[in-house]
Amino acid sequence: MRIAVTGASGLLGTAVTAAAIDGGHSVVALDRPGALGSLAVDAVRRVDVDLTDYLTVKDAVQGCDAVIHLAALVSPLMAPEPVVHHNNVMASYNALLAAAENGIRKVCLASSVNAIGGAYSEHPRYDWFPVTEGHPSYSQDPYSLSKWVGEMQAADFARRDPSATIASLRFHALLRDEAHLAEWKNDLPRTAPKDLWGYTALGDAASACLAAVQADFVGSEVIYVVAPTTTALQPTAELLCEHYPDVPVRTELGGRSGFGGFFDCAKAQRLLGLTARTLDHAERAH
């Protein structure tokens, strides 16, 4: 496949690009002017593009078989509120429209667990655990809102073309390896209780993106891709009692290790054939 990857110079973009090349695909790497200089892969065609400029995006993805849209401002703190919202919403819309008008029916969008609210909410609300894709959104910030809007855009474009396959993948904090996980645990963000102590292994995120544009389902699907264990040092049962004692638990949390995560990723296995991994090979048996 010839795959257009937006945000190709970012952490996930470089991982997806490398995985695509390793899998025998060709890549058109799209990113803001000057960002692609560090992407030293000879098999990649680099295109400087402003993703809020639709016509340049449409031209850049012409001739591709799939689009993996990763580019975004990844926090509400990266820029003034209108800039975060408008950049992300315009970029995702342009990627979807450019794909549609070029006859590209395989699209993957990087969404976030924060699409329903979480890390950036003053008081995050969860209606049940484990969290599934059908959970309502209670977002309270421009970044989380932009991710939820991107998912709604994906559903809109799938209704326009019933033969399209569009996956919105809800990732958590992307961690590279066990050392990165250990570093994360030792300096756990204050927001960890708000977004449920989760993370996504970078390799899983890259694999999920490629699986999404090769999947055989049609329509728009939101899919959690989160590691099956938490980053917390406390067992999951203790976290639940301390922070969310009133939230109904639909299926048992904790797993064999006692540190099982709060997100249900069964859909990723069913639609993408992906079983998310834990980077913590010790499985914290203590």
| Residue 280 included in any domain | no
Two tokens, residue 18? 């490398």
Q: State the pLDDT at residue 38.
A: 55
Q: What percent of the chain has pLDDT over 70?
A: 94
Domain count, the chain: 1
| Residue 279 included in any domain | no
Q: State the pLDDT at residue 285.
A: 45
What are the pLDDT digits (tens) for 96-133?
999 999 999 999 999 999 999 999 999 999 999 999 99
Rounded mean pLDDT of 187-197? 94
Among 46-50, 211-215, 261-265, the minimum mean pLDDT is found in 46-50
| Residue written as token pair 């301390």 | 242
Is pLDDT of 42 > 50? yes
Q: State the pLDDT at residue 277.
A: 74
What are the pLDDT digits (tens) for 13-32?
999 999 999 999 999 999 88
| Residue 260 included in any domain | yes
**Do residues 225 and 257 make contact, with C-beta atoms less than 8 angstroms apart?**
no
Q: State the pLDDT at residue 41.
A: 58
| Residue 25 included in any domain | yes
205-109-116 Cα angle (round to 5)? 85
3-state helix/strand/coil string of 1-36:
CEEEEECCCCHHHHHHHHHHHHCCCEEEEEECCCHH
| Residue 285 included in any domain | no
The band of 256, judged by pLDDT with boundaries at 50, 70 and 90, is: confident
What are the pLDDT digits (tens) for 149-159?
999 999 999 99
**Do residues 210 and 19 make contact, with C-beta atoms less than 8 angstroms apart?**
yes
What are the pLDDT digits (tens) for 53-76?
999 999 999 999 999 999 999 999
Q: Which residue has the higher pLDDT, 150 or 34?
A: 150
| Residue 205 included in any domain | yes
Q: Which residue has the higher pLDDT, 190 or 284?
A: 190
Is pLDDT of 176 > 60? yes
Q: State the pLDDT at residue 286.
A: 40
Which residues lie closer than 8 Å to 28 by C-beta, 6 or more apart? 2, 3, 4, 5, 44, 45, 47, 60, 61, 64
Distance of CA 121 to the CA centre of its chain: 18
CATH of the domain at 241: 3.40.50.720
Q: State the pLDDT at residue 254.
A: 81
**Do residues 150 and 174 make contact, with C-beta atoms less than 8 angstroms apart?**
no
| Residue 87 included in any domain | yes
Supply the range of the domain harboring residue 82: 2-272
| Residue 136 included in any domain | yes
